[in-house]
Amino acid sequence: MKKTILTGIRPTGNLHLGHYFGAGQNWIKLQNEDYDFYLEIADIQALTDNFDNPAKVRHNVREIVMDMVAMGVDPNKLHLFVQSMVPEIAELTVIYSNLVTMARLYRNPTVKTEIAQKKALFGNSGESVTYGFVGYPVSQAADITAFEGQLIPVGEDQLPLIEQCREIVHKFNTIYGQTLVMPEPLLSETPRIKGLDGAEKMGKSLGNGIFLVDSEETVKEKIMSAVTDPDKIHKDDPANPEKCMVYYYHKLIKNKNINTVCEECKAGKRGCVACKKELIEKMIEFLKPIQEKRKELEENPQIVDDILIQGTEKSIKKAKETMKKVRKSIKIDYFNEE
């Protein structure tokens, strides 16, 4: 039996190099191995903190599909689908909500951090936080279990959500009998990708990332402003490449010239401007095939529709099977008794 993989992403913006190297490459590797792989675009989850901006979420569903396919996600090798198009997920969410306490939800470290970050939406001390947002781990447990996901590829920040899902599964199976499949996280081996500003994480909204859709002009501007070794004042000062984001990105996109970049930088034989110019060139080259593929999709919106319809059909079928088992276990299968 093939193992089932499930993971998800919130459609709140385009994909950047952090997604590409942190998650995307792993998806592409896994889609070529022997798994049943569900990749969810979590629009309902995105609405939990974007309920006031549905147009943004809707727009980004298609954007993310185009970004994913352009970078190598193959919809023929995995099931790419949209959360809201599988209503069984919402049904399961309601059923699971009885199995988790409010106190437990408030303690979830990921949710706690997010509430604290979203002051404009949820108030300075989280006093305006919604039921939907505090409860999104329950909805994420439904995402996972609807497809009987066993391995859940995620970054470290998602571990508390997987743990919460495991608790729900355990409680469900204890009360209603063995029904749901127990998932486990599949931690990515790639550490977090750092931002151009040297921050620990490249983020959608932090303004420190290079996006797969960035134009040559934007790539130039962003790389020219990247953080370099602050102790290097003059063009021919020797510097420490480990303190330099330009070097970090040369390495990330696997510049074949990387040893020269490193040696020249250490020896003071390479000015930062020249080094940045080389990176700009290599970065544009790196993005080119992705952007070409993406252009094809932009010009043929029907391809994106077809991808989603195809992935969603298969996903609905699987979720319906799970739903049938769940209804039976909690004795609400009134007209289906065997």
Instruction: Write the CB contacts of 281 (distance below 8 Å, at least 6 apart in sequence).
Output: none
Residue nearest to ligand TRP (CB): 8
Q: How far apart are CA 8 and CA 20, in angstroms?
A: 14
Q: Which of 9, 70, 86, 168 is close enough to bind ligand TRP by CB under 6 A?
A: 9
Q: Could you say which DSSP state residue 324 is in?
A: H
Edge-first strand order for the sheet with 79-82 is 79-82, 35-41, 3-9, 151-154, 184-187
State the DSSP string of 100-131: S-HHHHHH-HHHHHHHHH-HHHH-TTSTT--H
Q: Does 8 bind ligand TRP (CB under 6 A)?
A: yes
Q: Which is nearer to ligand TRP, 40 or 264 (CB)?
A: 40
Cβ at position 260, least distance to ligand TRP in Å: 37
Q: Crossing angle for the helix pair 109-117 and 136-146, nearest 10 degrees? A: 130
Q: Which is nearer to ligand TRP, 158 or 190 (CB)?
A: 158
Stretch that binds ligand TRP, among 7-15, 67-75, 173-181, 203-211 (CB under 6 A): 7-15
Q: Does 270 bind ligand TRP (CB under 6 A)?
A: no
Of the CA atoms within 13 Å of residue 103, those in its CB half-sphere come to 0
Q: Which is nearer to ligand TRP, 40 or 214 (CB)?
A: 40
Q: What are the start-end ranges of the H helices in the chain?
A: 17-19, 25-31, 43-48, 54-71, 87-96, 102-107, 109-117, 119-122, 131-134, 136-146, 159-176, 216-224, 245-252, 258-266, 272-299, 301-329
Q: How far is CA 20 from CA 1, 2, 25, 62, 211, in A?
A: 29, 26, 6, 17, 9
Q: How far apart are CA 148 and CA 39, in angstroms?
A: 13
**Number of residues in contact with ligand TRP, rule: CB under 6 A?**
14
Q: Does 134 bind ligand TRP (CB under 6 A)?
A: no
Stretch that binds ligand TRP, among 62-70, 137-145, 295-303, 329-337 (CB under 6 A): 137-145
Q: Does 214 bind ligand TRP (CB under 6 A)?
A: no
Q: 3-class SS at 7?
A: strand
Stretch that binds ligand TRP, among 37-45, 70-78, 259-267, 273-281 (CB under 6 A): 37-45
Q: Does 15 bind ligand TRP (CB under 6 A)?
A: no
What mask of x and - would describe binding to ligand TRP in positions 75 to 114, judged by CB under 6 A?
Answer: ----------------------------------------
Q: Does 262 bind ligand TRP (CB under 6 A)?
A: no
Q: Which of 143, 148, 214, 229 is close enough to bind ligand TRP by CB under 6 A?
A: 143
CB 19 within 8 A of CB 8: no
Q: Which is nearer to ligand TRP, 5 or 265 (CB)?
A: 5
Roughly how many angstroms between the first and final C-alpha of the chain, as a whole number? 27
Q: Which of 115, 144, 307, 326 is close enough to bind ligand TRP by CB under 6 A?
A: 144
Q: Which is nearer to ligand TRP, 42 or 193 (CB)?
A: 42
What mask of x and - would describe binding to ligand TRP in positions 168 to 207, judged by CB under 6 A?
Answer: ----------------------------------------
What mask of x and - would describe binding to ligand TRP in positions 41 to 60, judged by CB under 6 A?
Answer: -x--x---------------
For residue 182, give both structure tokens.
Answer: 């127990």
Q: Which is nearer to ligand TRP, 143 or 264 (CB)?
A: 143
Q: Does 140 bind ligand TRP (CB under 6 A)?
A: yes
Q: Could you say which DSSP state residue 189 is in?
A: S
Count of CB atoms situated within 10 Å of the CB of 249: 22
CB 50 within 8 A of CB 12: yes
Report the interface residues with ligand TRP, using CB under 6 A.
6-10, 40, 42, 45, 140, 143-144, 152, 154, 158
